Chain A
Amino acid sequence: MTVTSSPVLQLEQVTRTYRQGEVDVHALRGLDLSVGSGEFTAMVGPSGSGKTTALNLAGALDVPTSGRVLLEGTDLASLAAHQRSRIRRDRIGFIFQAYNLIPVMSAFENAASVLALQGVSEAEQRDRVMPLLAELGIEQLAHRRPDQLSGGQQQRVAIARAIAAKPAIVLADEPTANVDSTTAERLLDVMERLNQHHGVTFLFSTHDDRVVAHARRVVTLMDGRVHHDDVRA
């Protein structure tokens, strides 16, 4: 943890119960977690421990059964659907396991898509996104569509998309799961550099030891609660 001046994300006694057929599945059972600005945190744990559910709640994609999820002090469950859309657009960046770029957009358009949604002018989109693509080493691929990019290149575009609008936090769900180990290391180096040089806050959900090795804080979930919280020097 590099900076802990103010919590960006707080999950307070959060429970989340799903109904699957006749059975209630308790994905989270009173999760307490606080992520500070500038953190590079990995959330680990076995399957079913609640990592992805926690990420969904943190990303305003879902609402808790009980408890509170606060992003920069705002209770996400209290917001209307259109307000949650705006929070996701303006304050949260997502990186998915399967990249999930929009296939009909070029790399540049994908990276700039959130800025476009925010109504940022085309010139400013270019001014902000092109240096980012350069920093990620894919500037020359800006005009290519996702199907013309390798997995690692696609994930770099996804990273650019996630951080282009300067979100409060980037939520990354298994971002290295679909790439080879060399590419995974490079991606982690890139994200670590963005964290250290630009203060981008990252929260990973992962099984990948390489992600854990890069993380400066590792939160282990078990049965929907924090089992262990390891802050490294």
Chain B
Amino acid sequence: MGPRLATMAWRNLWRNKRRTLLTLASITFGTFLSVMFTAMQDRNFADMIDYAARLGGGHVTLQHPEYQDTPTLTRSIDHVDQLIALAQADPGVTKAVARVQGQAMVSTAAQSTGGFFLAFDPTAEDEDSLQLIQGLVAGRWFDGPDDKAVLLGRTLADNLEAELDDKVVYTVIDKHGEIAAGMGRLWGEVGTGAPSADGSFVMLPIDRVRESLGYGPTEATEVAIFLRDARKAPAVRDRLAGQLPASVVALTWDQVQPELSGFIAMKVGGARFMELVIMVLVAASIFNTLFVSVMERMREFGILIAIGYSPGQLFRLILWESAWLGLVGVALGALLTSPVYLYLVAHPIDVGAMTAGENMEVAGVGMPPLLRIGIFPENLALIGVFVVGATVLAGLYPAWRAGRVEPVEAINLV
């Protein structure tokens, strides 16, 4: 039986095995680089966003409409229990908790300094909502929301010369704009992974802070909402926005933390550019292979035209050859990438060991000490489509040349 174009194209690829294998090697390696590069970024940025959300207002934040521009404790929201119930009814939400965040002056008997406090209900939070990179580095955790206790960032504790069980006084501007103070014993020290945050971070039980601020029992500065997938934040925000009272707005993590969002957008943009460069190099290699191969076979194309092939069939024949290169390249890329990828998923890279234990931070968020990898399925699919697309695109001109063959000249009968 006469072979179809796809079969002919496949066989044509193997007429020059070395050239085809070299081209496949470049596609395979390009696929490997793109997948690994994207996998590092996807997981690492997702981790950073999760850490930022846990230390801040969640993936989606419900807060007073003016709090984002003027974050004072006078701009609170009430009936947070109802808002939490509303949020938890959304299918994308894993957890919703009330928090109070604000500025405070923190003092011990020895020192006094400005700080940033996060007040929460320790019985309502867990690792999904509140997880610090280094966690509790000394002392113990809160037992309940009305403990008379304080946790300090490790550097802040050092600066205040505070020892465990020392008295710590925090002074805030209350709901009515008056100075108010609260006191607790230092129960522990925490490490956020971000050096700047460790020098100013104060954790407090929420009911004690409500009492100091004059807040009611269902009042807070925000409801922090946590999602299974941070990328769904805009959709969850939009769903919730229609059900909220006018005194409450819903914001996504990137609206609340524009510095981190900008950093990630910049890094993702850079990564996309690098991937584009890789794709262009891969496409150039394919173009070279196909173009040389087509020019070598012009006589053969003339013969094919003579026996009845149409220019369109020759065009499709070459496109099939490029598509085969792309498909086989992607398949080989998957074979090469899978074991490395799976190994790194199981054995994340210890960045801390590379930075001699120094913590790094971006926009006040600590970089995760373990560089995990994990690619979003849609990005994986996109890379596959891009590689095959680039190969087919690279084959367009050679295919066009093949289709434009002048049989009389090609066969050299004149």
Q: How far is the CA of A23 from the CA of B414 in the complex (A)?
A: 15
> Which among A106-114, A178-186, A193-201, A210-218 touches the partner chain?
A106-114
Taking a contact as CB atoms under 8 Å apart, the answer to whether B413 and A52 are in contact is: yes
Cβ-closest chain B residue relative to A57: B408
Contact: A125 with B1, CB < 8 Å?
A: yes
Is A105 interfacial (CB 8 A cutoff)?
Answer: yes
Q: Is B3 an interface residue (CB 8 A)?
A: yes
B15 touches A103 (CB 8 A): yes
Main SS class of interface, A: helix
A104-148 Cβ-contact flags toward B at 8 Å (1 or 0): 110001001111111000100110000000000000000000000
- Indicate which residue in B1, B310, B411 contacts A96 across the interface (CB closer than 8 Å): B411
Chain A residues whose C-beta falls within 8 Å of the C-beta of B304 in the assembled complex: 102
| Contact of A117 with B308 in the complex, beta carbons under 8 Å | yes
Known: A88-B307, A89-B307, A117-B309. A104 touches B12 (CB 8 A): yes
Q: How far is the CA of A114 from the CA of B303 in the complex (A)?
A: 12
Known: A88-B307, A113-B307, A117-B309. A102 touches B300 (CB 8 A): yes
- A192 CB–B CB distance under 8 Å: no
Q: Chain A: how many interface residues by the 8 Å CB criterion?
A: 36
A74 within 8 A of B: no
Closest to A119 in B: B2
Q: How far is the CB of B7 from chain A (nearest CB, A)?
A: 9
Count class of interface residues, chain B: 20 to 34
Residues A56 and B300 in contact in the complex (CB < 8 Å), given A90-B308, A112-B2, A173-B413? no
C-alpha gap A88/B306 in the complex (Å): 6
Residues of B within 8 A of A62 (CB): 408
- Interface residues of B, Cβ cutoff 8 Å to A: 1-4, 8, 11-12, 15, 299-300, 303-313, 407-408, 411, 413-414
Can you give 27 A-B contacts (C-beta < 8 A)?
A52-B414, A53-B414, A55-B413, A56-B413, A59-B306, A61-B411, A85-B305, A85-B311, A86-B308, A86-B310, A88-B306, A94-B306, A100-B299, A100-B303, A102-B303, A103-B15, A104-B11, A104-B12, A105-B2, A105-B8, A112-B1, A113-B2, A116-B2, A116-B4, A122-B1, A125-B2, A173-B413
Given contacts A104-B11, A118-B308, A161-B307, 19 further A-B contacts (CB under 8 A): A56-B408, A59-B306, A61-B407, A61-B408, A85-B309, A88-B305, A88-B306, A89-B308, A90-B308, A94-B306, A96-B303, A100-B300, A102-B303, A105-B2, A109-B2, A112-B1, A116-B1, A122-B2, A173-B413
